[in-house]
Amino acid sequence: MFTGVVEEIGEVTTYTPNDPLSKNGTTLTITLPSSSSSSSSSSSSSALLSDCHLGDSIAVNGVCLTVTSFTLTPSASFTVGIAPETLRLTNLGSLRPQSRVNLERAVRADTRMGGHFVQGHVDTVAEIIQITPDGEALTFRFRPKNKEVLRYVVYKGFIALDGTSLTVTAVNDDEGWWEVMLIAYTQERVVVAGKKVGETVNVEVDMTAKYVEKSLRGYLEGLLGSTTSGAEEQGGSEGKKGRGLLEKIVEGIVKQGFS
C-alpha cells in the first residue's frame, strides 16, 4: 500500500529484458539521487533505501515491485524484477537507461496519509493529449487506453498517475478524457511534469470506487433476483422493493437524458 506522495525521483541505470542472469525475468536497476546514499540520521528523511530489506515493495512509476537486490555504496541503487503481465498492463516496458521514475516506499502503520490509498496495481495506461499552461501551473489532459476506467474517474476525485496522487479537475465521459493540474511545487518533484504530448502514464483509479460499485451491484442484483424468486409469490416485500428501486433508477436516467 502506498500514498501517492513521491519520495524520490530515481534514474534507470539498466533495463534488461528477459535477463539471463536473473530468475526474475525482465530486470530494472534504478539509481537514487546522491542525497539518498547517506545513512546519517540527518538525511534519513530522503534515504529511500535507509531501511530497505530484500523483498520490500517499492512503487516505480506507480507500479508495486519487489526489491531483489540493493546497495548503498558507492551510490544507492536497487534492482526489481518485472513480470510479463506487468509489462503488458503498464508503460514500464518503454523505460530506458537515464529514464526518470517516481519512487515511493510502501507505507508503514505510522505513515501520514498525505495522498490517498494507492495499491500499486495499475488499471491501464493513458496518453497525454494536451498540456495547457495556467499561470505557473500546468493542466494535463489524458485519454485512457481502456475507456472503462472512466466510470471511476470523477470531478475532484483522486487518481494516481505514474504513482502520483492527483486531483481530477475536469472529466468528459463522452469524449473520453480527464484533466489534472500540477502546481509549480509538484512539477519539480514528479516525472509527469517532464512528459510531452503523446507520452503515456500509468493509471490507477481510486480503489474505493471499485468497492462501492461491487457492493452496489451485488445489492441491486439481489433485489432484482428477488423479483423472479418465490418471494413475491409468497407476498414478500423484497421483490417489490427491488422493482421499485430499479424503476426509480431508470426513471432518473431517462429524465437526465431528456433534460
Q: What residues act catalytically? A: 2, 57, 64, 66, 83, 121, 167
Q: What is the DSSP string of 118-132?
A: B-S---EEEEEEEEE
Q: Which residues pair with 133 in a beta bridge?
A: 138
What is the phi-psi region of residue 110: left when phi exceeds 0, alpha when psi lies from -120 to 50, beta otherwise? alpha
How many whole angstroms separate alpha carbon 157 and alpha carbon 160?
10
Residue whose C-alpha is closest to residue 123's, from 45, 209, 199: 209
Q: Which residues pair with 1 in a beta bridge?
A: none
- How far apart CA 202 and CA 27 sit, in angstroms, is 18
C-alpha of 212 from chain center = 18
Report the C-alpha dihedral over residues 99, 149, 122, 13, rounded to 10 degrees: -10
- Centre a 10 Å sphere on the Cβ of residue 218 and count the other Cβ atoms it contains: 10
First to last CA, the chain: 42
Q: Is 194 helix (H, G, I), strand (E, B) or coil?
A: helix
Phi-psi category of residue 176: left, alpha or beta, with phi > 0 → left and psi -120 to 50 → alpha: left
For β-strands 158-161 and 164-172, DSSP reports them as antiparallel
